[in-house]
Amino acid sequence: MIIRNIENLVKINKNSINKLINSLNKANNNMSRYLVHVNEKNLIQEMIIAFTDKTIIPPNRLKNKTQTMNIISGKIRVIIFDKLGRIKEKFIMTPYNKIDNNPFLFRFNKCDWHTWVSLSKKSVVHEVLEGPFEMIKTKNPSWIPSEKDKLKIYLNKFRK
């Protein structure tokens, strides 16, 4: 499910996040987005994303673009790959707190291949991408499973 912003001033509060989380029940891909930007031509693409421990996010990258993400709620694992599909790094993100020292924000100055999985039943992140948004149909590398069932099995190993 996608909620699109049409306002000049956007304020996100607990009710906004709860509405997004509750909309997961209607989302066929276990993911809901609140687009904070006004349209795909904006030079900054900003969104709040809610997803579950069943969401499938294929490894992806925005070639030669920046990306920043911070976690609002839940617990996720981020996996970064090299161009051959070898894991360069993986780390757990949790919201800022006094209990752990997990990162709560990351930024790619040049986006690498990456994915993330929710380690909680539901997680919410704030993502900022360099725009404008362009739906580019590029062929994924051969190391990314193209069949949904195989991709699910591949990603589930990162949930453990």
Binning pLDDT at 50, 70 and 90, where does residue 75 land?
very high
Pairwise CA distance, residues 99 & 120, whole Å: 17
Partnered with residue 93 across adjacent β-strands are 76
User: What domains appear along the chain, each with residue ranges and CATH number?
Assistant: 2-159 (2.60.120.10)
**Residue 135 confidence (pLDDT):** 73
Q: Pick from 79, 13, 3: which is nearest to 34 by CA?
A: 3
Contact between 108 and 115 (Cβ < 8 Å): no
According to the model, what pLDDT value does residue 118 have? 97
Mapped onto helix, strand or coil, the DSSP state of residue 19 is helix
Band the pLDDT of 138: cuts 50, 70, 90.
low
Mean pLDDT over residues 112-116, rounded? 95
CA distance 75 to 94: 5
- C-alpha to C-alpha distance for 139 and 9, rounded to whole angstroms: 38
Cβ atoms of 118 and 53 within 8 Å: the answer is yes
Global confidence as pTM: 0.91
Instruction: Please calculate the CA angle 44-3-59 and round it to the nearest 5 degrees.
Output: 60
For residue 85, what pLDDT band results from cuts at 50, 70 and 90?
very high
Gap between the Cα atoms of 49 and 66, Å rounded: 18
